[in-house]
Structure 1
Amino acid sequence: MKIIVFLKKLATPFMQPIKSIYLLLLTLCIFSFSCKTEKKEAIEQKLPIPVVSEKNTSTLQHAKGFTIEKQGDLTIIKVLSPWPDADKDFTYALIPREKAAAMTLPRDAYDAIVLTPVERIVVTSTTHIPTLEMLGVETTLVGFPDTDYISSEKTRALIDSDKVKDIGQNDQINIELLIDLQPELVIGFSINNSNPTYKTIQKANIPVVYNGDWTEKTPLGRAEWIHFFAPFFHKEAKASEVFDTIEKNYNEAKELAKKATTKPTILAGAMYKDIWYLPAGESFQAQYLIDANADYLWKDSEGTGSLSLSIESVLDKASEADIWIGPARFKSYEDLKKASELYTKFAPFKNKKIYSTANTIGKTGGTMYYELAPTRPDIVLKDIIKAIHPEILPNYEPYFFKPLL
């Protein structure tokens, strides 16, 4: 998993580390809730591919973190939320390559000016990989920090054929190698505006554009960032087709979940050291549980990030929960028991009702949830519905959330 999370705003896979970047990454271990662990053999998966509809609209309905404006041949993308509590917007001008000679723009008016369609790109989060593939532009990718985190077979083939170079770690990108690759654009992300690596890249006259999809507060809001990528490749129609299909699938699953005659109580997350991290009631992870027609025990808590609780308070509230979703990095009941005997006191442990994403991994050990889930909330929702209302989707095979081993 290549995305860094801001501790108080992003409540995912329920561990909320505190100081180092590595620990920050662990926060994504809450709702998938698992982070990258030791590299193991890949588990073969048949990924549900959305069947594209004919509808073609690019109006943003769910995403709140960016806007797109057309001004003749000029496309203006404004990123409003590159990280939580950002104190400024970032404005990017996109110019068709063939129109560039005839257009003059004040450079100080934009944070980057990009010629389109982009032919050579570097992205910095595994969550960007599925979007490139959905738009059919994955061959424009020339570099990525720590390519072992990428699990997609299509992009791994490009890596194996040396068409995508490993450019180091996200916080220590090999600038010389990056410059040698001659990218026309770097898509980055950050927890604040003081990323020295990106500033160095910009000094080399390589445009850096911030992506803030991870700050969205709803599952469909995150997925709608495919529209952010589309103008860089002149793929707006394709983006609309793909997203409209995902949105339709998600809403159909949500309506299907309403047919359930029961509403199981849900526990989520796990402990990091002695603190239990789980999604706050206004987080996008909690939204998944609400849309799956579940009774999330912390649904009334405030905040869009994670809650930091004592094991005693979690036991008091959720010892008799029906189902446990997303036990962080744990792959088996034995792993949970070894980590803490306290886990065995919960009813879902005793009744074997725990579901995890940690066992769906790629060829080089990357956790598929972190790469693909943000762009495919429809799959995530169906997985959760299958876990808590199996009678509603009797023939559905879960992709991310599977019974703990």
Structure 2
Amino acid sequence: MKRLFCALLAAWLTACGAAGPPPRAAPERPGCVTEYSPQTNYFPHQVEAEYAKGWQVRYERSYKVLKTTVQAAGGHAKAGSREIDSTYVLLQCGAPRPELTGELAGATVIEVPVRTMVDGGSVLYASLEKLGKADALAGYAEPFIGDIEAPYLPRIAERIKAGKVAEIGYEINYEALADADPDFYTNYAGDDQTFSKIEELGIPIVFYFPYTETPLGAAEQIKFLSLFFNAEQQAQQVFDPIKERYLKLRAQIDAHVADRKKPKVLIGTVGESGSVTTRQRERFEPQLIREAGAEPVPDLPGGGIATLSLEKFLDAGADADYWMDLVFFPKHKTGADYLAADDRLARLPALENGRTFHRVGSRGADYFLNGALEADLILRDMVNLLHPELLKSGDELQFVKRVPAE
């Protein structure tokens, strides 16, 4: 009896925890295929890049082939910029990997739908918010989200304020990035050493930048991002009304400027050293100006950032009707403030005529957040600035702000 009791006790201890609790099965990843069928099309809702030139996608039954092209370099695509062409296989989770040969040789494989991501500089926060995927943001470089901007990205702002999103920074904190453990990391600028360190962490890098597109091409960022979440249907539902309103406004602009001289818009910001930073013609700002029925100056080839001497900048702006100052943190409230800081700027008629504006409007720095997604609204801002007689709406500017002469 005693031996039987001991045997039963030993069996009970083994079963009930003497050796610890039994291991639990790993939880299933949401959205994964549990029983794969090669005949099934796992992507019933599909998108395409109608206007964007920086990416294209092709759908197979169980994976997507995504190709991107970006201008990338150290210092955010300044001197020595180069193009980076990348291929990604966005594989339906639970499906077998395709053979990475031919066109797919060297491709980066990312299982979708992803759970988390880190935005290292592509600035896709607005698209995350609109897709209902704000909880997927595990880290950021710089969110541009303060009290003024928070109402326009409420869920992301709430998560950042609660400390649920890691600050990775532009000068990357690799420890914070590793702790965030995202399914992928987005950026467009950096150097080979930076990219190698991220890859050593086992984190796929997705190269993408919407600010070398037309406004509608930039707005297609929501389609681009949706590819990683299998959220194409939601993306199309957001994009289509933006496109419809944008094209309607573009038709009005075309009709308005058909028999008029287009205004010239000087683009650039004067640094403390006296040199000027401007944008080449394929960047967002010059394309936005052209879409708004105006001519950007100076007109420089390329898709990056360019530096000019102050003298060349002043020459370019001598007959410009407007000046779009690209300053990130505006400190001059009037044209008189600009002139007090540097009287050489008196050569810019746009400054003395009260026709200068910058990119921090009534929505704060939302130009850098929703501005590249809500193409119709930012184009409307430009029309109200450059062709106030067209809409006669009296709308308050949202993404940009006028600088009065006095």
TM-score, normalising length: structure 1: 0.73
Cα separation, 2, equivalents of 1:201 and 1:278:
30
Cα deviations across residues 153-208 of structure 1 (Å, max 9, x unaligned)?
331111122322223x2222232x3333332222233245x042x43333233322
Determine the structure 1 residue equivalent to 2:109. Answer: 113
Determine the structure 2 residue equivalent to 1:12. Answer: none
Determine the structure 1 residue equivalent to 2:14. Answer: none
Cα deviations across residues 122-164 of structure 1 (Å, max 9, x unaligned)?
2212621111112221111122235565743331111122322
Q: How does 1:1-400 map to 2 (within 5 A)?
A: 58-81=47-70, 83=72, 86=82, 89-97=85-93, 99-100=94-95, 102-103=96-97, 105-106=99-100, 109-125=105-121, 127-147=123-143, 151=149, 152-167=153-168, 169-175=169-175, 177-192=176-191, 194-196=192-194, 198-214=195-211, 216-260=212-256, 262=260, 263-272=262-271, 273-281=273-281, 283-298=283-298, 302-305=301-304, 308-316=307-315, 318-326=317-325, 328-329=327-328, 330=330, 331-333=332-334, 334-360=336-362, 362=364, 367-395=365-393, 396-400=395-399
Cα separation, 2, equivalents of 1:186 and 1:290:
32
Q: Residues 360 and 342 from structure 1, CA distance in 2 versus in 1: closer, same or farther, beyond 3 angstroms?
A: farther
Once the two structures are overlaid, the 10-residue window that deviates more, 277-286 or 180-189, is 277-286
For structure 2, the 5+ residue unaligned runs are 1-44
Cα separation, 2, equivalents of 1:326 and 1:174:
34
Cα separation, 1, equivalents of 2:282 and 2:71:
20
Once the two structures are overlaid, the 10-residue window that deviates more, 103-112 or 394-403, is 103-112
Give how far 1:57 is off: 6.4
Q: Residues 282 and 64 from structure 1, CA distance in 2 versus in 1: closer, same or farther, beyond 3 angstroms?
A: closer
SS of equivalent to 2:65: strand
Give how far 1:117 is off: 1.1
For structure 1, the 5+ residue unaligned runs are 1-55
Give how far 1:79 is off: 1.9
Letter in 1 for 2:57: I
Cα separation, 1, equivalents of 2:230 and 2:277:
41
Q: Residues 266 and 80 from structure 1, CA distance in 2 versus in 1: closer, same or farther, beyond 3 angstroms?
A: closer
Give how far 1:234 is off: 0.7
Cα separation, 1, equivalents of 2:283 and 2:320:
20
Cα separation, 1, equivalents of 2:188 and 2:280:
23
Q: Residues 317 and 236 from structure 1, CA distance in 2 versus in 1: closer, same or farther, beyond 3 angstroms?
A: closer
Cα separation, 1, equivalents of 2:188 and 2:53:
16
CA RMSD for the aligned pairs? 3.0
Larger relative contact order (CA 8 Å, sep ≥ 6)? 1
Larger Rg: 2
Q: What is the total number of aligned residue pairs between the two structures?
A: 338
Q: Residues 162 and 104 from structure 1, CA distance in 2 versus in 1: closer, same or farther, beyond 3 angstroms?
A: same
Cα deviations across residues 249-286 of structure 1 (Å, max 9, x unaligned)?
22222222234364333333232333344444555422
C-alpha contact (below 8 Å) 1:123/1:186 kept by paired residues? yes
Cα separation, 2, equivalents of 1:389 and 1:294:
9
